[in-house]
Chain A
Amino acid sequence: MKKILFTVFIFFVFCVNISAQINWSGRFYEQAMIYTGDTQNDRYAAYMGLSVLDLGIDARPSDLLRVRGELEFAFTHPDTTSLPGMGGIDLASINTLNATFTPGRTKITVGRFLPRWGVCSVFRPLDLFAPQLYFLNAMSFKGIDGISVKYYLSDLSSFEILEVPASQLRYGTTASNAQFHTGTFDYNLIFLYDGASTDKVLGLAFKGDLILGVSGELYYRFRDSMDYLSQDSVFKASVGLDYSFAKYFFVSAGFFYDESGKADYRDYAQLDPTSRMTLGTQYLESSFVFRSFTDMTIGLGSIFNLDDKSFILYPYYQNEIFENCQLGVSLYNFNGESGREFSSSLMGSYVFNAYLLVKF
């Protein structure tokens, strides 16, 4: 795959040389977290910061060809252990670098890109290629190295096949996504074959309107009984509703079920927390947002683990203080007895989070 990335890079250099239209953009993101807790009756406070600079390049040498990339420079301060689910913070990484060809009704993408097939707002089991973190405002993730061919069957429907080739480090993965539209709903029928485990995943996502906004994802992983490496069959479901009213208010709620979780918190130790977003089997999430006429946003979110009765509450505030410059603050309140998923034992009862986002 490095050869493909190198080829795409050469494409980009070629675009520069032929003076193709090249657009640069970027985001700078500064995040600070302060968390408190108790250790044997001693209160403590700790700080963790994250600085991220994303540089985007976008070249269009012709109407049929586009080369895009996103470079990320990130570092934590002070040095900390890797954040769960993100595989560590690289000092510099190429999040995406790909070339897209669009002859006729086809779109061919080669290189590094990040398909996000999930449609729900918080719990997205069908985001098969992207990690999920619901309590950190991480900006973007490293994509997969592969090839995607998407054919548009009509104005609103398409069929995509995606291949992540095998390499020395991993087995290949093949996936497909059939997207169609009927009534007021978009539907996605997803299939994935994992070469490493020979497991197969079947998924259905839908998003549309029934007066309220409705979104949902159904995920089922089939176990290959002939392969001892294959994992158990797993069913996951995520459903969400949303609505806005009186111009400035927005509410949403969702339910998530994960068969691979543990209903008893005492069994959490059997799970690898670094490879999954949740530990339990059933969750409720909700959000209430007020957006003022000056684009200031005040919201209150929550996530409940219905198994162990622990929960997170997070009020937050966002405001565009200058053009293309956004300030946000939030306070995560972890509630739950010891051993529960959202107990305060990991990062304390309160985590204060602030970020500054500048776009250019």
Chain B
Amino acid sequence: MIKKIIFLISLLLFPVLLMALSPEEIISKVDKNEVFTSIKYKGVMTIQKGDRAQPRIKEFEAISKGNDKAFIEFTNPGDKGTKYLKFKDELWIKGPYADEATKISGHLLRQNMMGSDYSYEDVVNNEGLLDLYNVRLIGKEELPSGECYKLELTAKVKKIAYVRQMIWVDAQEFVARKVQYFALSGQLVKELTVIKTEMINGKFFPVIIKMENKQRQNTYTIFEMKSIDLDIPLDDTLFSKRQLEK
């Protein structure tokens, strides 16, 4: 009799067990949505700092290919003509009044780009989370956007900007709805919130993101992507000094 009961319970639980995702599977689905072979888009950063009356607006056009190559050109009036080229872990800049590109020291990749709450590493990084982090599922939590898986990510590589992250993944769309970034000290440094996603090439892709500086009051950057093309063929010559100095 007992054996029959156990067998019946197992039959009931079997589909549930089948449907339960491992933390790695959850993050893998997030990577499938947010990681791309290439991207081309127009971006707008709205930068609010503390009590500043007016936010700063930075507009740019960006392309990126794989993990190693990215090219950004700013188009807003104050920075028009400023270009950045990322090649592996190195960065070059060409100012609007310069003829030659200048290499930027690698340690400056950790600095905020153009005064925003995004570092150069944040903006051009396209690596999958599973490549960089170990994942632990904490449970489920209800956010305004819907039910989310709550996961903890701890770095498994040494060279990384944030050693620990907390991430809330939409249980339906498998998009990271909220991410908290922690420093080595354990202090919460930044919090990212996805405001809007769009379906592009079968992926739920975040197109409006807010990055908040949790160490300062009323300090955040809203990052908006428009005219997005994902996984398109991009010539490697677009990621070169020739393009930078054109």
Judging by beta carbons under 8 Å apart, are A115 and B107 in contact? no
Judging by beta carbons under 8 Å apart, are A244 and B110 in contact? yes
- How far in angstroms is the closest Cβ of chain A from B177? 25
Q: A107-B246, A293-B49, A359-B77 are in contact. Are A158 and B105 (CB under 8 A)?
A: no
Q: A56-B97, A116-B98, A324-B77 are in contact. Are A155 and B239 (CB under 8 A)?
A: yes
Measured as residues with beta carbon below 8 angstroms from the partner, the interface class of chain B is: 35 or more
A-contacting residues, B97-156, CB 8 Å: 97-100, 102-103, 105-108, 110-112, 115
Tell me whether chain A's interface is mostly helix, strand or loop, or mixed.
strand
Rounded to whole angstroms, the CA-CA distance of A208 and B90 in the bound complex is 9
A117 contact set on B, CB distance < 8 A: 100
Judging by beta carbons under 8 Å apart, are B103 and A186 in contact? yes
Judging by beta carbons under 8 Å apart, are A152 and B50 in contact? no
Rounded to whole angstroms, the CA-CA distance of A96 and B130 in the bound complex is 50
Judging by beta carbons under 8 Å apart, are B103 and A207 in contact? yes
- How far in angstroms is the closest Cβ of chain B from A122? 15
B111 contact set on A, CB distance < 8 A: 244, 247
- How far in angstroms is the closest Cβ of chain A from B111? 6
Contact of B49 among A105, A150, A294 (CB under 8 A): A294
A113 at the interface (CB under 8 A from B): yes
A154 contact set on B, CB distance < 8 A: 240
Count of A-B residue pairs with CB < 8 Å = 103
Rounded to whole angstroms, the CA-CA distance of A208 and B88 in the bound complex is 14
Using an 8 Å CB-CB cutoff, how does the interface string of B63-82 with A read, 1 for contact, 0 for none?
A: 00000000000000110110
A100 contact set on B, CB distance < 8 A: 246
B96 at the interface (CB under 8 A from A): yes
Most chain A beta-carbon neighbours within 10 Å: one of B80, B81, B105, B219: B105
A-contacting residues, B165-219, CB 8 Å: 213, 215-216, 219
- How far in angstroms is the closest Cβ of chain A from B180? 18
Rounded to whole angstroms, the CA-CA distance of A188 and B136 in the bound complex is 49
A155 contact set on B, CB distance < 8 A: 87, 236-237, 239-242
A212 contact set on B, CB distance < 8 A: 105, 107
Using an 8 Å CB-CB cutoff, how does the interface string of A15-43 with B read, 1 for contact, 0 for none?
A: 00000000101000000000000000000
- How far in angstroms is the closest Cβ of chain A from B96? 7
A340 contact set on B, CB distance < 8 A: none
Judging by beta carbons under 8 Å apart, are B57 and A323 in contact? yes
- How far in angstroms is the closest Cβ of chain A from B190? 11
B54 at the interface (CB under 8 A from A): yes
B4 at the interface (CB under 8 A from A): no
B-contacting residues, A83-125, CB 8 Å: 100, 102, 105, 107, 109, 113-117, 119
- Chain A, Cβ-Cβ closest to B98: A116
Q: A113-B99, A323-B78 are in contact. Are A158 and B106 (CB under 8 A)?
A: no
Contact of B96 among A56, A208, A245 (CB under 8 A): A56
- Chain A, Cβ-Cβ closest to B90: A184
Contact of B241 among A116, A156, A359 (CB under 8 A): A156
Contact of A105 among B107, B110, B242 (CB under 8 A): B242
A-contacting residues, B38-72, CB 8 Å: 49-50, 52, 54, 56-57
Mark B residues whose CB is within 8 Å of A. 49-50, 52, 54, 56-57, 77-78, 80-81, 87, 89-90, 96-100, 102-103, 105-108, 110-112, 115, 213, 215-216, 219, 236-237, 239-242, 245-246
